[in-house]
Amino acid sequence: MKEQVQKIRNRYHYAIVVFKEMVKTDFELRYQGSFLGVLWSVLKPLMLFAVMYMVFVRFLKFTDGTPTFAISLLCGTCLWSFFSEATTMGMQSIVNRGDLLRKVHFPSYIIVAATTMGSMISLGINLLVVIVFGFFAHAHYTWHVLVVPLNILQLYALALAISLLLGTLYVYYRDVSHIWEVILQAMFYAIPVIYPLSMVASYFPMVSKIMLLNPIAQTIMDIRHNLLSPENIPTVWTWINNPLLSLVPYALSILLLWLGIHVFRKHCSKFAEAL
């Protein structure tokens, strides 16, 4: 057993070292030259939350009537900011690091993984802020918090899968960035981030269930449910009565990750030539 572990370490030691250095460098460069530095990773989602809260909650009255809606909105904003940032930067990572890819020999998937992991660090900082605010915003922390790391892992896997797919396409077609920007905007309003799921259910009950079959929406709702308030925030398991149907978004997540890895591995050997 020890020999097998040692073989694995020896095989992936170089890749792990490169990955760590890229994550460190990418995170440092992200805030290089700014006065507040890493504090922007906290301030940006807070500022976005403040705007959304004033417009959608105070002005348009988007609320589910529960005391946890405000903190749920903050949490959803942080999660969506991570997904949007990770997929956008992951898509551009191969092209942006093309010079390094041509000069140094290492697995190209490390570039995409390191870029998305930089966004993951920002998400971790943001979720700490959400937890602290939760103590003052009626959040109900239960044993469900123990499941949150698995939910976050699923969200990261989705972001990585899409980044691998988009990163491959972006090497050959730069138009992909503009298309993805439009898709992100449409998806933002198509999933319950700024509005409660109950608002959709009151007018279109079937549509609200279909929305949760989207793995992005399912993951965000699962994290909110398990982290903030299991009794107030619905999830795919409480909203859809069919257990097999509730497994659909999880199966789609696995399928999407497999597809991303498969497509990336098939074309990665030609990246240096294409760039």
pLDDT band at 31 (very low <50, low <70, confident <90, very high): low
pLDDT band at 35 (very low <50, low <70, confident <90, very high): low
Kindly tell me if the per-residue pLDDT of 244 is higher than 60: yes
- Total Cβ atoms within 10 A of residue 125: 14
Q: Judge whether 2 lies within some domain.
A: no
Give the chain's mean pLDDT.
84
Q: Judge whether 57 lies within some domain.
A: yes
Instruction: Give the tens place of pLDDT for each residue, 90-102.
Output: 999 888 877 777 6
d(CA 52, CA 92): 28
Kindly tell me if the per-residue pLDDT of 252 is higher than 80: yes
Query: What local confidence, expressed as pLDDT, does residue 115 receive?
Result: 87
Q: Per the structure block, which two tokens stand in for 153? A: 């892992």
Q: Judge whether 7 lies within some domain.
A: no
54: domain range? 12-274
Q: Judge whether 3 lies within some domain.
A: no
Kindly tell me if the per-residue pLDDT of 41 is higher than 60: yes
Query: What local confidence, expressed as pLDDT, does residue 32 receive?
Result: 63
Q: Judge whether 6 lies within some domain.
A: no
Structural domains counted in the chain: 1
Q: How far is CA 267 from the centre of its chain?
A: 24
Query: Which of the two residues, 143 and 40, has the higher pLDDT score?
Result: 143
Show contacts of 33-37: CB within 8 Å, 24+ apart. Answer: none
pLDDT band at 103 (very low <50, low <70, confident <90, very high): low
Instruction: Give the tens place of pLDDT for each residue, 178-227.
Output: 999 999 999 998 998 888 888 888 888 888 889 999 999 999 999 999 99
Instruction: Give the tens place of pLDDT for each residue, 1-14.
Output: 556 655 556 666 66
- Total Cβ atoms within 10 A of residue 133: 16
Query: What local confidence, expressed as pLDDT, does residue 195 receive?
Result: 87
Query: What local confidence, expressed as pLDDT, does residue 1 receive?
Result: 56
d(CA 52, CA 124): 21
- C-alpha distances in Å from residue 61, one per residue of 43, 64, 65, 195, 204: 24, 9, 10, 9, 19
Least confident of 26-40, 124-138, 151-165: 26-40
Contact 220, 154 (CB under 8 A): no
Using a pLDDT cut of 70, give the percent of the chain over it: 87
H helices, E strands: number in the chain: 14, 0
Instruction: Give the tens place of pLDDT for each residue, 182-194.
Output: 999 999 989 988 8
Least confident of 64-68, 112-116, 209-213: 64-68
Query: What local confidence, expressed as pLDDT, does residue 148 receive?
Result: 94
Q: Judge whether 4 lies within some domain.
A: no
Angle between helices 215-227 and 248-267 (to 10 degrees): 120
Q: Judge whether 107 lies within some domain.
A: yes
Query: What local confidence, expressed as pLDDT, does residue 80 receive?
Result: 93
Q: Judge whether 270 lies within some domain.
A: yes
pLDDT band at 251 (very low <50, low <70, confident <90, very high): very high
- Mean pLDDT value across residues 237-253: 90
pLDDT band at 163 (very low <50, low <70, confident <90, very high): very high
Query: Which of the two residues, 17 and 9, has the higher pLDDT score?
Result: 17
- Total Cβ atoms within 10 A of residue 137: 17
